[in-house]
Amino acid sequence: MTCAHCGTPVYGRAPAGPAYCCLGCAILGGMGDSATGAPTRQARSLLLRLGLAAFFSANTMVLSLFLYSLEAPGAEAPGVALSLIRALLALFSAPAFALLAPPFFQGMKRDLGRGRFSMESLIALSAGAAFLYSCLAVVRGSNHVYFDTATVILLLVTAGRLLEANARVRGTRALRELMELAPPEARVRRGGEWQVRPAESLVPGDTVQVRPGERVPVDGRIAAGGAAVDESMLTGEALPAERLPGEVVRAGSLCLNGVLEIETLAVSRDSLLARIIRSVEAAQQARSPLERLADRAAAAFVPLAAGLALLAVFLWWPGGREQALLAGLSVLVVACPCALGIAVPLVNVLALGAAARHGILIRSAETLERLAASSLLALDKTGTVTRGCISVRRVIAFNGETEETVLAKAAAAAADSTHPVSRAIEELARRSGVPPAGRRKVEVFPGLGAGAELEDGSQVLLGRRRWIEDRSGAFAGVEEFESGSLTWCAQDGRPLGAFVLDDPVSEEAVQAVAATHRMGLRAVLLSGDRKEVVRAAGSLLGAEAQGELLPEEKAARIRALRQQGEIVAMADDGINDAAALASADTGIAVSGGTDVAREVAEVVLLEGGLSKLPWLFRLARRARRVARQNLGWTLAYNSIALSLAVSGRLRPILAALLMLGSSILVISNSLRVNREDL
């Protein structure tokens, strides 16, 4: 079974109600009732538990600090006061422990049943040992109590899981956005009539009709009609594709003009959109290398701590049973994560806050670590490294015509068309001060082009070369250009010129990629656009370039790069590459991107496009460097402290003081992440 909130596998006996992987998911999963939208009774109860635990833990910390201060040299306190403080500590910590500990002990029970250990086992063992040791200390009248360690560890881990659960569930929203691209109903021919039927009921061979402004419900081949089809949500191309009979259209694409009759090739569950959704689901369910590494570390540390505790008991058994038991418990108390518990999380919290102040949203601490380790930056072209709008880069004139003449006659044909290419030609004419040629009549041919009858009676056509040649004969003495997307213009069957269309690479993208090069990252440009266009953009960026890639091919390319040992960060802005973003080690959605890209990606650049990408990588690398320094210190401390505890030379109160000093050192070092000189 899986968690009812985030989809994580849950092991053990199935509960009567929804199954949750942790307290955080249980809280968030119960907050919204599907029927009423109101918080459920269970969710309110869980939130109350967390709030009460925080209250009791805070009081435990205050009392513990007061008790520690009484242990300082020269400090004196009556025995009755010390007994009262110890009793209050037990009184405040017991409810917090009872409220927060059960999920971790249940996790340890599951781990024991599977013959393995995880972080839950480590937390349960450490917190349980600290609490048990403290209870024994209260009974014995000792001031060496560690109720604060037991409760605060449980509280911080639970609060962290609450935040992580909230971030994980955002991926399911992205899938819903993808699914909504394909319409639930389709207009299908039945018995010679057009009938509206559920899209799921279609079978290959059915003929469906798509009108202007409607989305295509299935993958199919055009049987009749023609139209400009916006496939940007699937291919990433800003330029609508002109689709004619015999060509394939994809489910989820938008018919801009004209009426299409489509022969169904693949039903909804087998469409390209469905395959993208399945790819996103698979990528989200896969565990990251860092998660597997953390599990392996916990699996090794838990038996090590338990073994050292048993060793301490064995070594001190000749001195008495009570002394041996306390020595073993002391080892477990020393092993309980303290500075080690904040060494990395504190750095990550500070780094995530710094990123937020600079307009960058990072979903989790694991994302920050993967960013720091990235070796390759994958980029989409359209809308990511380009400006995301069609423009005319060049006007080519033939047969002695001037560029102004070609532009004036083309603008006359484009006058009544809403096609983005027509708008780009009209915009160029306006900026150039070239008025459209006089015309008597303008006609738009959906999916093909546009035409105009000029005042001198001649006919001007604007559109694809193949369409113009089919109407007026093949062009003679005119070569085919491969430097970019072309729209052709002809008058009475004689070619006048062509317009080279472009979506130019932005200057900020060039500078950002150059900065990442200096940091040692390779760059690769992946696009569904023509290979020649992608190669030209790649040369400007200094990146490897691969064009004419379908969305699923981009995701496969990302996976192949990862299998080669690359740690891939991918920047994109569209739904079409949701699977590729999810397949990368780190997905980065740039400002202006779609909602689905923002939900799937682990990093969202809220403003500034790619300009802040180099700063983001520098922040992640500094955070990793500081976190490693913290870990080095805390691991060295734990190694020394464990050795001293096993040998009986480290009293618990001294260990507590050393832990406090270690924590202060870790906090001071972590604050360096907030420095602005990145």
Residue 509 reports pLDDT greater than 70: yes
Q: pLDDT digits over 168-209, tens only?
A: 454 445 455 656 677 888 999 988 889 998 888 888 889 999
Q: Are 23 and 50 in contact (CB under 8 A)?
A: yes
d(CA 669, CA 339): 12
Most confident option among 73-77, 360-364, 612-616: 612-616
Share of the chain above pLDDT 70, in %: 71
d(CA 586, CA 613): 13
Res 74: pLDDT: 56
Position 655 confidence tier, pLDDT thresholds 50, 70, 90: low
Q: Are 524 and 544 in contact (CB under 8 A)?
A: yes
3-state secondary structure of 71: coil
d(CA 245, CA 249): 10
- Within 8 A by CB and 6+ apart from 195, the residues are 187, 188, 189
Delineate the domains of the chain, giving CATH numbers in brackets: 1-168 (no CATH), 183-270 (2.70.150.10), 360-382+505-611 (3.40.50.1000), 391-502 (3.40.1110.10)
User: 403-413 and 420-432 helices cross at what angle (nearest 10)?
Assistant: 130
In 3D space, the residue among 280, 261, 278, 262 whose CA is nearest the CA of residue 270 turns out to be 278
Q: Are 81 and 58 in contact (CB under 8 A)?
A: no
Residue 294 reports pLDDT greater than 60: no
3-state secondary structure of 510: helix
Res 34: pLDDT: 37
Q: pLDDT digits over 410-461, tens only?
A: 999 988 777 778 888 998 999 999 999 988 888 888 767 889 999 888 999 9
Q: Are 499 and 451 in contact (CB under 8 A)?
A: no
Give, as one character, the DSSP assignment of residue 436.
Answer: P
Instruction: Name the residues annotated as catalytic.
Output: 380
E-assigned strand segments in 216-358: 219-224, 227-230, 241-243, 248-249, 254-255, 260-266
In 3D space, the residue among 123, 138, 155 whose CA is nearest the CA of residue 85 turns out to be 138
In 3D space, the residue among 187, 186, 234, 222 whose CA is nearest the CA of residue 448 turns out to be 222
Give, as one character, the DSSP assignment of residue 482.
Answer: -
Give, as one character, the DSSP assignment of residue 225.
Answer: -
Q: pLDDT digits over 535-571, tens only?
A: 888 888 888 988 878 777 888 899 999 999 999 999 8
